[in-house]
Chains A and B, each alone.
Chain A
Amino acid sequence: MLEVRGVSAGYGGFRALSDVSLEVRAGEAVAVIGPNGAGKTTLLRVISKLIPASAGEIVMTGVKLADVPPEKVVELGIAHVPENRRLFPRLTVEENLRMGAFVPAARARFRERLEFVYALFPRLRERRDQLAGTMSGGEQQMCAIGRALMSGPRLLLMDEPSAGLAPVIVQQVFELVRRIRAEGYTVLIVEQNVQQVLRVVDRAYLLEVGGIRLAGSAAELLASDAIRRSYLGL
């Protein structure tokens, strides 16, 4: 579904990604793990075209992203749950969800998808008229995922969904990811919490200092010495 081929990108003179290639097939959940500053967030931002790629190409269902302006990426079926959730704090929960359905194709199915999101996260229905900025971290994560689902994506990009949350809430967030998978969404998730994320995905890539160091099934990576030593502390 999504192919990333030899992509490099950076900010100013700093090169955050160099020659990164990966693939996400329909129906899969894939994780990109790695330490802070490895370029994980940059990778997702390049896929969403929030920042340009300096080399390489990205193809989504046969369409080269280089030919698509940033605000049209979502219409290809890519929805991005950004780092730190980035809700609109002074809009209500339902208004945040409405923003997720901004593109014309999504507007037409707003009611239907709203019901779907509320069924998935009943807490959001209770809080529909509350300002998003006043909710707890876990509830905000639900809202951020719900907002991404409102566009009716085929591929969901999730950037560090567990970051900055209390340990108990982290458990709940990975439970959310599991439910999203169960709904049949294809997911590309970026995480520092290696142990947790490898339990909910099929395959994973290890990203270090801007390059892919290791790739394999979740079970293979969980068993690999490098991962066990550096990331699981075993």
Chain B
Amino acid sequence: MFDIFLIEAVINGVLLGGVLALLALGLNLVFGVIDVVWICYAELVMIGMYAIWWLFVHYGVPLPVAIGAAVALVALAGVALHVLVIQPVLGTPPINQLLVTGGVLFFLQAAATLAFGIEFRNLGLRMPIVEVGEMFFSFARILAFATALAGVAALWLFLTRTYLGTAIRAISQDREIMPLMGVNPRRIYLVTSAIGGGMAGIAAALLALQYDVHPAIGLSFGPITFMICVLGGLGNMAGGFVAAFVFAQFISVGGFYAQVEWGYVIAFAFFIVMMFVRPQGLFSR
């Protein structure tokens, strides 16, 4: 009746939810502001993970420095993606914008294989296990959860308390009049892309502590990130945040009762059903 392992699964789900929320938030920001889905978002995360691994394992760069460099690199990758790939197709049918980032997905995946091979790489860290009662939690997960929440909070403060953040929210509501406010829309798009990339970089650091990196890692959590974004309501940050925790519970508790794949199957099936019931997203007004 009182199953301690189930509680452990639920708590692990909450911890996972934090990281998923951070992931979904970066994607959601870009989607909400520029109205383009970065299908290759998870591959940006992969770039960050490889950067950390490369700097830390190969060059012995201290971990915090490696993480900082990786976040900066992925933010830069976000800007490059916008300038080189998104900008040329901004005026074309939306589906081209979706597909062009899919091309980038292939490119990054293959380029990672070319550069690093298909082997699984890890940082080789021994992270402690935290024991609470009879439940065990990985310290990396707790750290990731806390950092993710801090990242989400920082983004929220930025978007609501600063001029630039307010402009980022405003531009999705009325792009054309932005110059009347003294705002250059192109610059806002670049800043948004950099923040979206930066969020992917932070997510990369949190995932690198827990998982091995390999060229196909993007495929394992890319789709779930899109589902969370859509379910939360595209461009709706609060919705995406809650949806991340809902999905994490499906995966964690589903995996507790059966294999972990069934957890994902239920999560995706839930997504499809919700799209029919509430196509505007779970939490639309």
Interface residues of A (CB under 8 A from B): 48-50, 69-75, 79-80, 82, 86, 88-91, 95, 98-103, 106-107, 147, 151
The answer to whether A82 touches B183 (Cβ under 8 A) is no
Contacts of B176 in A (CB 8 A): 50
Given contacts A86-B174, A90-B173, contact A80 B166 (CB under 8 A): no
Nearest Cβ distance between residue B212 and chain A, in whole angstroms? 41
The answer to whether A98 touches B166 (Cβ under 8 A) is yes
B133 at the interface (CB under 8 A from A): no
The answer to whether A71 touches B167 (Cβ under 8 A) is no
B95 at the interface (CB under 8 A from A): no
> Which of A50, A86, A88 is in CB contact (< 8 Å) with B179?
A50
Q: List 6 tightest A-B contacts by C-beta distance, closest first.
A: A103-B182, A70-B179, A74-B182, A71-B184, A71-B179, A88-B173
B169 at the interface (CB under 8 A from A): yes
Contacts of A89 in B (CB 8 A): 173
Give the number of chain B interface residues (Cβ < 8 Å): 16
The answer to whether A91 touches B169 (Cβ under 8 A) is yes
> Which of B163, B166, B180, B184 is in CB contact (< 8 Å) with A69?
B184
Nearest Cβ distance between residue B27 and chain A, in whole angstroms? 20
The answer to whether B170 touches A91 (Cβ under 8 A) is yes
Nearest Cβ distance between residue A223 and chain B, in whole angstroms? 36
Contacts of A106 in B (CB 8 A): 182
Contacts of B183 in A (CB 8 A): 71, 99, 102
Nearest Cβ distance between residue A100 and chain B, in whole angstroms? 6
> Which of A50, A88, A98, A102 is in CB contact (< 8 Å) with B182?
A102
The answer to whether B180 touches A75 (Cβ under 8 A) is no
- Give 22 pairs: A residue, B residue, CB < 8 Å, sorted on A: A50-B180, A71-B179, A74-B180, A74-B181, A75-B182, A82-B177, A86-B174, A86-B177, A88-B169, A88-B173, A88-B174, A90-B173, A91-B166, A91-B169, A91-B170, A91-B173, A95-B170, A99-B163, A99-B167, A99-B181, A102-B182, A151-B181
Tell me which of A72, A98, A99, A107 has the highest count of chain B C-beta atoms within 10 A of its own C-beta: A99
> Which of B163, B169, B174 is in CB contact (< 8 Å) with A102?
B163
Contacts of A50 in B (CB 8 A): 176-177, 179-180
| Chain A residue at smallest Cβ distance from B170 | A88
> Which of B163, B173, B174, B179 is in CB contact (< 8 Å) with A107?
B163
Nearest Cβ distance between residue A30 and chain B, in whole angstroms? 20
Given the complex of chains A and B, what is the CA–CA distance between A106 and B174 in angstroms? 21
Contacts of A101 in B (CB 8 A): 163
Given the complex of chains A and B, what is the CA–CA distance between A69 and B167 in angstroms? 18
- What 1/0 flags go to B250-266 for Cβ under 8 Å of A? 00000000000000000
Given the complex of chains A and B, what is the CA–CA distance between A95 and B170 in angstroms? 9
The answer to whether B169 touches A151 (Cβ under 8 A) is no
The answer to whether B179 touches A99 (Cβ under 8 A) is no
Given the complex of chains A and B, what is the CA–CA distance between A147 and B173 in angstroms? 16
Nearest Cβ distance between residue B190 and chain A, in whole angstroms? 14
Given the complex of chains A and B, what is the CA–CA distance between A73 and B169 in angstroms? 22
| Chain A residue at smallest Cβ distance from B171 | A88
Contacts of A49 in B (CB 8 A): 179
| Chain B residue at smallest Cβ distance from A75 | B182
Contacts of B180 in A (CB 8 A): 48, 50, 74, 79-80, 82
Contacts of B174 in A (CB 8 A): 86, 88
Given the complex of chains A and B, what is the CA–CA distance between A80 and B177 in angstroms? 9
Given the complex of chains A and B, what is the CA–CA distance between A101 and B163 in angstroms? 8
Given the complex of chains A and B, what is the CA–CA distance between A69 and B179 in angstroms? 9
Contacts of A90 in B (CB 8 A): 169, 173
Contacts of B178 in A (CB 8 A): 71
Q: Which of B155-206 contact A (CB under 8 A)?
A: 163, 166-167, 169-170, 173-174, 176-184
